[in-house]
Amino acid sequence: MFAKVTNYVRIDYWAGGRVRIAARAGEDVMLCARQGGHDGRDMDPPLGEGGPLRVDAPPASRNLLFIPAGNSTEMVFQNTYRGFLYRQLFITPAPITPSTVSLAGQTGIVTGSNTGLGYYASSQLLSLGLSRLILAVRDTTKGEKARSSLLAALEESSPGSAKNPPQVEVWPVDLTNYTSIIEFANRVRDTPNLQVNFIILNAGVARLGFEPAPNGNEITIQTNWLSTALMAMTLRPILQAQYTQAKRIATNGHTPPPPVLSIVGSEVAQWAVFKERKIAASGPHTSVLTVLNDRKKSNPGDRYNTSKLLLTLFFREFVDRLPSTKNDVIVNLVNPGFCYGSELHRAITGPLGAVFGGVKRAIGRSTDVGARTLVHGAVVAGRETHGCYLSDEKVAPWMDFVITPKGEQAAHEMWKELSEELREVVNIDGVMEQTGV
């Protein structure tokens, strides 16, 4: 159900199936879509029956789901190829400067930070005065090279920083290995005197051909969906526990800012064909993951798009299932745009790779510019972005499919498959219920 809308708004579910609109006091908002089984008829005025809703006081509860609003024409344009090209060619995310943001005393983690977006985001974070940075990488040798390069670049841009350099560490984590992910999360949990203020889950891959990961799952699906989901689910309660402890020992009313778990998504989820779901539905007792892992049924041209759609569906279900109380962690999904200079598409070689590289140079953002969106999502965007999809440093409309009833059903189905895939690794229900108290 769509209606003309004027703002980005949030729905909170509470007793009796009623809904509360989250916005600033005195702000007029209107809703754009039915969500979570609510048809909006118990609101005043009912959804779709006209009239803005006035918010008389700031909301107090936990947010479970954000729904996109904005001008309806903007929503349609956002999710088109024309909208994509417009953003690529005419919108440049703004740099974040030390004059506006100081990260002194803070600690951050960036995955996939030895190259591309993760590297440039790390560089920008250090330029903002970040005191401790953990580079979470698969190859620690490359991670150490990145560490040296980052510190050298910081000294060049800020002479004298070498006298009191930030603490930059390289921690191994392999997103094709569940055990490695659990070990990484345990290290974050068990390292003495570590309070992480934000985590950017940036690591990802794109493959043109079919390539299995060591555990047998197709590597793009394994990295971009399954393992990123596991990282998010295991790290979120650790962030919460650390924050809860920090609040207990805070003095003079200096409560630390709430931690942020920022996941790097992509607008290409809008264009995913996702034929594997239809194939699975046509066969007896066939999972979507089984089809995704079938080389004969592989659709290489759509695989990356589908992996990002699966990540988006996970994100919405993940936010919806967060604890009803005592969750302070801000979780958002960030689209950096199409960038050249990253190694994301390094597996695309030969003539096709040359053509693709030319396209990236023609319409792509530099990796340094794209990285600004990651930094924004982690250290600038606030509580109002919890559960949101961000693009160009602002809340953006969701992809068309994910806010439809079919999209919601797909999110439920894929959550079940995710739970089944990870059941020998982690108790998802148990992890999701952890409040960090």
Q: Residues with catalytic annotation?
A: 266, 304, 308
**Would you tell me how many other CB atoms lie within 10 Å of the CB of residue 290?**
15
Return the residue matching tokens 């290489």: 300
Q: How many CB atoms lie within 10 A of CB 121?
A: 30
Contacts of 242 (CB under 8 A, 6+ apart): 194, 195, 196, 259, 436
One-letter amino acid of 79: N
- Amino acid code (one letter) for 240: Q
Give the residue among 21, 16, 83 at the shortest CA–CA distance from 400: 83
Amino acid sitting at position 23: A
Nearest-angstrom CA–CA distance, 293 and 280: 12
Q: Are strands 53-54 and 28-29 parallel, antiparallel or unpaired?
A: antiparallel
CA distances from 218 to 14, 181, 211, 215, 352 (A): 40, 17, 6, 9, 22
